[in-house]
Structure 1
Amino acid sequence: MSYLDKLLDGVEVEWKPLGEFAELSRGKTITAKTKNEGNIPVISGGQTPAYYNSEFNRDGETITIAGSGAYAGFVMYWNEPIYVSDAFSVKPDLTILNTRYVFHFLLSNQTRIHNLQKGSGVPHVYPKDLAKIQIPIPCPENPEKSLAIQKEIVRILDIFTELTTELTTELTTELTVRKEQYNYYREEFFNFDKGTVVWMSLGEIGEFQRGKRFVRTDITSDGVPCIHYGEMYTHYGTWANESKSFLSEELVDNKKLRVAEKGDVVIVAAGETVEDIGKGTAWLSDKGVVIHDACFSYRSQLNPKYVAYFTRTKRFHDQIKKHISSGKISAINANGLSKAIIPIPSPDEQERIVAILDKFDTLTTSISKGLPKEIALRQKQYEYYRDMLLTFPTDNIEA
């Protein structure tokens, strides 16, 4: 016997259209004349408040449904003053239905509600259509017992919701702390006192080679490893020994594309913002990697990971900023990169610094990857129990 069966204890369950026991009311559009900045969330067609206003038109427990746009039908719950704009609210009759019970039920039907979208241009979800969705009402002949059953279902589901929120907060906080520690030590390790080590420009101790142009449509699922400059922001970290993308050997030969070899540092030289420029990735594979023309390969006698970590410091970026040309796409040339000076400790000290920073990098990466997995696991647990607790007999569902 399931927990739901024990909870119901043989009582009848009746399915009724939501509109019979809830008021579904459209919001009111805010115009430029009526808009006043404040701290009241304005609920519109998105998954978060569109902006904040000084006035509200709903208070207390309120369920909102996004009215239009790509997220039309998105369900949210509020227990504070809000302004419902391009959305509509659901206010159940509290003598029959618990608001959180209705919210969890609608969440369990989120895909179905999204499928209520109408319109060939901007999609809309309308209150009249949501009103037809039937909701299970346990023990309809005894409202007091019905609400008690609903309250117990809400209690259990809210526990899982709270656990997911707590876990997200804890892991996010942990990740933030680790990243701050990592950034602090990375900056500190390159903050040598004057006279303790030699400082030289990158151009004095190494050589830059610019990649050659290829486009995303050239990329294949296998072949010669390659790095497109855009992937430097979305995929690559401080080092890599395998590529995300590939090119055909024929293309590489015909275009005479350029390759970064093992021990080179691939440095991105173009991006949408100044902050994007200059980040490096040490290439550690025995097999070379083709690089895009918005990247440079840098070769020196320094530890490549030491150089790559240095390119991610504030000290390095402060030096190259003045050499970056700004525009729709910001960029830097080899001459600008070559002027940045870098501290050069002994090879053993470089190795020691790299080993410590690797540990911080591994820790922050594992937390970053683990965070969405842990959250997804808790979400699946919540959905499992939600579906179990809201899967009522359908014998009495209205046609």
Structure 2
Amino acid sequence: MLSAIFEKNTKKNSDGAISNVICNSAKQGLIPQREYFDKDIANSDNTAGYYIIEQNDFVYNPRKSADAPYGPISSYKYVDPGIVSPLYLCFRAKSIINPRYYEWYFKSSVWHRYIYMSGDSGARHDRVSIKDDTFFAMPIHLPSENEQRRIASFLDILESRIEKQRTLVDSLKKYKRGVIRTLLTPEYCKFKDAKWTSARIGDLGSFIKGAPLSKADIADEGTPFILYGELYTTYNEVITQIVRKTKANVEQQYFSQIGDVIIPTSGETPEEISTASCVMVPGVILGGDLNIFRCSKVDGRIISYILNHVVSRNIARIAQGKSVVHVQANELAKIEIAYPDFKTQENMVTLFEAINAKIAQRTKELELLLEQRRALLQQVFI
């Protein structure tokens, strides 16, 4: 059982001598609060109730997230002691262990079955309810010390490969942004004989609102369907494949035409709402909270790239609201853009698609590595 290896740590910072507040992030692990702000960490000077943690201690943050559906468990790697929120569960080894082996154990999902997911109506839905007795009573398979070291070493090598692949994907995305911004800025564009025209968006085409549909209209079968929220999570500047369907019936005006540019009408932040996608598939139902821009004077893909990478700050400035921000079509129509002649547009699209294909290839390789890691974790610690 886990209790044979670890014991709960409840030593508190009663005299307030330690001020090094540590947060447990699902993506970054245990890091000082000054490097990562966590809304669950108190912002007062009273940290007497915080738990003191030392090097190689483990900390469980019970807040659920997409990256850690049962909350992250991380080990503390710093030499100097730190303090963590009393909302966290802290535990430390009773004797010398290989901490890296246990870090990998807690990155797997085999321990999730020993966590109590509260169904109480009064419980916070973003948190796991921890029952200490159940948690520390979980059985854990322990190979020899040599095998633990070899397992941890192999998984570390795989993790290093994943991080290199992730860095490569991020670098390609930054390169893409730089290329697009440069080529779509007249004074920096390197295409010879490019002829540029400036105009307000509203003078190039027309806006309509999306169909009055929502998530409730998603179905397993039916007509391809795009929701505004998917522009933040699923689609990029150009859409060639549709992931959703609906059985809803709507008027013909809400079905996509090749080259339609869709822009969300609402979002959580001005920066988030500064996005757009060009739909290159006909007959797709374009859902609610979308501004649909139709234009025959400029390739919709070029409009989308301009909106995402050249005038995104202009869109952010016209966004209105606090908890939810909105962008009106009549305000979008006032934004002035510069666009090249059709031949240059075609050349740009060809280049941008080549970069997108390279990013997609490298991203797929990253996804395969992540799936390999997930499968290995399940096999090693089962």
TM-score bin (small chain): 0.7 to 0.9
Shift of residue 182, structure 1, vs aligned partner: 0.5
Shift of residue 386, structure 1, vs aligned partner: 5.0
Give runs of aligned pairs for residues 299-378 of structure 1, distance below 5 A.
299-313=295-309, 315-378=310-373
Give the whole-Å Cα distance in 2 for the aligned partners of 1:79 and 1:52. 15
CA contact (8 A) 1:269 1:296 kept: no
Give the whole-Å Cα distance in 2 for the aligned partners of 1:369 and 1:271. 28
Q: Deviations over 1:333-373 (max 9, x none)?
A: 22211222222322111011111111222222333343232
**CA spacing shift, 1:385–1:257, aligned 2, 3 Å:** same
Shift of residue 36, structure 1, vs aligned partner: 6.0
Amino acid at match of 2:277: T
CA contact (8 A) 2:108 2:381 kept: no
**Corresponding residue of 2:94:** 92
**CA spacing shift, 1:134–1:263, aligned 2, 3 Å:** closer
Give the whole-Å Cα distance in 2 for the aligned partners of 1:322 and 1:74. 37
SS in 1 for 2:370: helix
Identify unmatched segments of 5+ residues in structure 1.
1-16, 138-148, 388-399
TM-score by length of 2: 0.75
**CA spacing shift, 1:125–1:346, aligned 2, 3 Å:** same
How many equivalent residue pairs?
348
**Corresponding residue of 1:161:** 155
Identity %: 16
Q: Which has the larger radius of gyration?
A: 1
CA contact (8 A) 1:198 1:343 kept: yes
**Corresponding residue of 2:9:** 26
Give the whole-Å Cα distance in 1 for the aligned partners of 2:354 and 2:174. 14
CA contact (8 A) 2:30 2:76 kept: no
Give the whole-Å Cα distance in 2 for the aligned partners of 1:42 and 1:184. 34
CA contact (8 A) 2:210 2:286 kept: yes
**Corresponding residue of 2:270:** 274
**CA spacing shift, 1:293–1:68, aligned 2, 3 Å:** closer
Identify unmatched segments of 5+ residues in structure 2.
35-46, 189-193
Give the whole-Å Cα distance in 1 for the aligned partners of 2:73 and 2:236. 37
CA contact (8 A) 1:262 1:286 kept: yes
Give the whole-Å Cα distance in 2 for the aligned partners of 1:92 and 1:311. 57
Give runs of aligned pairs for residues 84-163 of structure 1, distance below 5 A.
85=86, 86-94=88-96, 98-100=97-99, 103=102, 107=106, 111-112=110-111, 114-115=113-114, 117=116, 123-126=129-132, 128-129=133-134, 132=137, 150-163=144-157
SS in 1 for 2:311: helix
**CA spacing shift, 1:52–1:257, aligned 2, 3 Å:** same
**Corresponding residue of 2:206:** 207
TM-score by length of 1: 0.72
